[in-house]
Every structure is written in C-alpha cells, then in structure tokens.
C-alpha cells in the first residue's frame, strides 16, 4: 500500500532553486537583532550662548546636583523613611552623610578640570 502523504522519489531528488540575492535599498526595514540604526543628532537649543561638548567635570556634576536639590521642596517628612529611626535621625543622616557622599562621588566621577 502506498502512503499518499509520503513524497514521491522524484521530489526527493530535485533540489530547490536558490533565491537570487539582491542589493538592499532605502525601502527595506532595518535589520533585526542587535543592529541599531543610528539617527541623526538633533542640535539642542542653548540658553547660555555657548555650550561645552565632551565629558563632564566633577564640578559640573555637583552644580547640577545642587541645582536639583535646591529646586526640590525641603521635606521634613523623614519619619517614615527608615523603620526604627526618627525623622531627626533621618534628616541628619541625609544632610551629613548621604549628600556629602553623593557630592564626593560626583566630583570623582567627572573628568578633572584643567
């Protein structure tokens, strides 16, 4: 008995034709996977008239940090921040440990200014 679902002997012997290669064009989608398509950098508006490009200095990081901290509302709601610590303890730890450590790390992170 012949199985109707089995391929015929002729089909097994005939190789499939190879697909023709073509050059990619601008209408093709970007390749998938890890390849990223670079986008054109758009110039940013400057409020100071001149901007510096390149790595940030530690002083610039600290200036940015201080600006953000100054613009945030001063909150004395440290009471629930750390269990088993008072609001005063949390506030003192924030001002005398956390903020100075952050500033020090930012100074070390930036490139040295000349």
Tell me: pLDDT of 4 over 70. Answer: no
Dump pLDDT digits (tens) for 49-102: 688 888 889 999 999 988 888 877 666 667 778 888 888 888 889 889 999 999
Q: What pLDDT does residue 39 have?
A: 46
Q: Say how far apart CA 29 and CA 60 lie, in whole Å.
A: 41
Q: Where are the alpha helices (DSSP H) in the chain?
A: 9-13, 58-71, 87-93, 99-109
- DSSP 8-state assignment for residue 27: T
Tell me: pLDDT of 5 over 90. Answer: no
Dump pLDDT digits (tens) for 10-62: 555 666 667 766 666 655 555 555 455 444 444 555 566 688 888 889 999 99
């Amino acid at each position: 008995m012949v199985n109707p679902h089995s391929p015929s002997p002729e089909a097994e012997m005939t190789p499939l034709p190879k697909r023709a290669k073509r050059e990619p064009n601008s209408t093709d989608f970007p390749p998938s996977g890890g390849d990223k398509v670079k986008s054109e950098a758009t110039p940013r508006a400057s409020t100071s008239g001149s901007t510096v490009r390149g790595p940030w200095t530690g002083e610039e990081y600290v200036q940015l940090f201080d600006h953000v901290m100054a613009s945030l509302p001063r909150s004395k709601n440290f009471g629930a921040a750390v269990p088993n610590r008072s609001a005063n303890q949390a506030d003192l730890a924030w001002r005398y440990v956390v903020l100075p450590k952050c500033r020090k790390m930012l100074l070390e992170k930036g490139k040295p200014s000349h």
